[in-house]
Amino acid sequence: MATQNLGYPRPLYVMPFDHRGSFQEKMFGIKGRQPTPEETKNIASYKDAVYEGFKEALKAGVPKDRAAILVDEQFGEACVIDARKNGVMFCMPAEKSGQDEFDFEYGDKFGEHIEKFSPTFVKVLVRYNSESELDMNKRQTVRLAKLSDYCKTKNRKFMFELLVPASKEQLDKVGGDKKKYDTEVRPGLMERAIAELQKGGVEADVWKLEGLEKAEHYKAIVAQARSNGRNDVGMIVLGRGENDEKVRHWLSVGAGVDGVIGFAVGRTIFWDALAGMKAGTHSRADAVAMVAKKYKGLVDLFMGAAKH
């Protein structure tokens, strides 16, 4: 395993709005079909509003060299083009949206789409539980190792979003208590999943992981992510659509742990702003301002807690 150039040790504050299937369904009621050209244009305009909020936050003092957007090709191409033109870091997803098993959005042509835009990070979202769906885990690992190898060959940074959904058996063991699963069971499964993926040839520069309640859990997971010479690999905390209080707690705890370099919080920041804009309860300008304020607020929180 080569660790040369592996990792991303600098602070990284990501605004993710690469949601596709869930965004279409929950924001616009489009389910079980592709959006029409007019619907696609409308969805893209909402993503533009998020990006405008991000840029307003930069103007308000968010450090540009620590900030990044995560947006998809389908609805966010204009955002990507503008970001590249203006020297803003951007991440793009490689996974097919709306399915439990990881596969490439563009099949064997995934490399062509990466090279077309040349993102700062190539990102994947993967559901992986070491104690369930073992055959699926193996299939996913083969595909992910292929992408990992591609990124290293092309000197591209690889961002891996790991979700560990509870199996029925795991939930039964904690009496069906999802909060208990999250706090007592999931941290160990996250650590184990990273180890298994690394053994399978998947080498992420940044692990994008679900929030944790305790610093000791962050430390254990960072230790695994940085094991065997992977000294510069970073971890960022995702928001999982949780409320402000919960997300702020996760970030505050994580920020004090060496190796936790930032966050990737999307829906918690932009959902209410866009939903209100769509409902007509506030203007687009108001929505942009709301996004900017919430994003900058989390950056300020993390930087304060991290002391850097």
In this predicted structure, the answer to whether residue 227 has a pLDDT above a threshold of 70 is yes
> pLDDT tens, 266-275?
999 999 999 9
| Distance in angstroms (rounded) separating the CA atoms of residues 304 and 150 | 36
Q: Up-side HSE of residue 126: CA atoms within 13 Å toward CB?
A: 33
CB proximity list for 240: less than 8 A, separation 6 or greater: 210, 211
In this predicted structure, the answer to whether residue 69 has a pLDDT above a threshold of 70 is yes
In this predicted structure, the answer to whether residue 4 has a pLDDT above a threshold of 80 is no
Q: What is the pLDDT of residue 183?
A: 92
Q: Are the C-beta atoms of residues 47 and 81 closer than 8 Å to each other?
A: no
In this predicted structure, the answer to whether residue 37 has a pLDDT above a threshold of 70 is yes
Q: What is the pLDDT of residue 1?
A: 56
> pLDDT tens, 254-290?
999 999 999 999 999 999 999 999 999 999 999 999 9
CA-to-CA dists, residue 45 to 84, 96, 302, angstroms: 18, 22, 29
In this predicted structure, the answer to whether residue 21 has a pLDDT above a threshold of 90 is no
> pLDDT tens, 124-160?
999 999 999 999 999 999 999 999 999 999 999 999 9
| pLDDT tier at 108, thresholds 50, 70, 90 | confident
The pair of structure tokens assigned to 62 is 């968010």
Find the helix or strand (DSSP H, E) in which 225 lies.
Answer: helix 215-225
More confident residue, 223 or 108: 223
Q: What is the pLDDT of residue 308?
A: 52
Q: What is the pLDDT of residue 3?
A: 66
Task: Give Cα 247 distance to the centre of its chain.
Answer: 14
How many other CB atoms sit within 10 Å of the CB of residue 126? 21
> pLDDT tens, 44-62?
999 999 999 999 999 999 9
Write 146-153 long-range contacts (CB < 8 A, 24+): 147/94, 147/104, 147/110, 147/122, 148/201, 148/202, 148/203, 148/204, 149/201, 150/110, 150/111, 150/114, 151/122, 151/205, 152/2, 152/5, 152/6, 152/203
In this predicted structure, the answer to whether residue 161 has a pLDDT above a threshold of 70 is yes
Q: Decide the pairing of beta strands 12-16 and 234-238.
A: unpaired
Q: What is the pLDDT of residue 241?
A: 75
| pLDDT tier at 2, thresholds 50, 70, 90 | low
Tell me the backbone φ, ψ of residue 100, rounded to 5 degrees.
-75, -35
Domains annotated for the chain, with CATH where assigned, are: 12-306 (3.20.20.70)
Q: At what angle do helices 244-255 and 215-225 cross, to 10 degrees?
A: 60
Instruction: Give the type of residue at 254.
Output: G
| Distance in angstroms (rounded) separating the CA atoms of residues 157 and 168 | 35
| Distance in angstroms (rounded) separating the CA atoms of residues 154 and 5 | 12
| Distance in angstroms (rounded) separating the CA atoms of residues 237 and 198 | 19
In this predicted structure, the answer to whether residue 214 has a pLDDT above a threshold of 90 is yes
| pLDDT tier at 106, thresholds 50, 70, 90 | confident
> pLDDT tens, 162-191?
999 999 999 999 999 999 999 999 999 999
Helix (H, G, I), strand (E, B) or coil at 160: strand
What is the distance in angstroms between the CA of the first residue and the CA of the last residue of the chain? 31
Q: What is the pLDDT of residue 307?
A: 64
Mean confidence (pLDDT) of the chain = 94
Task: State what percent of residues in the chain have pLDDT above 90.
Answer: 88
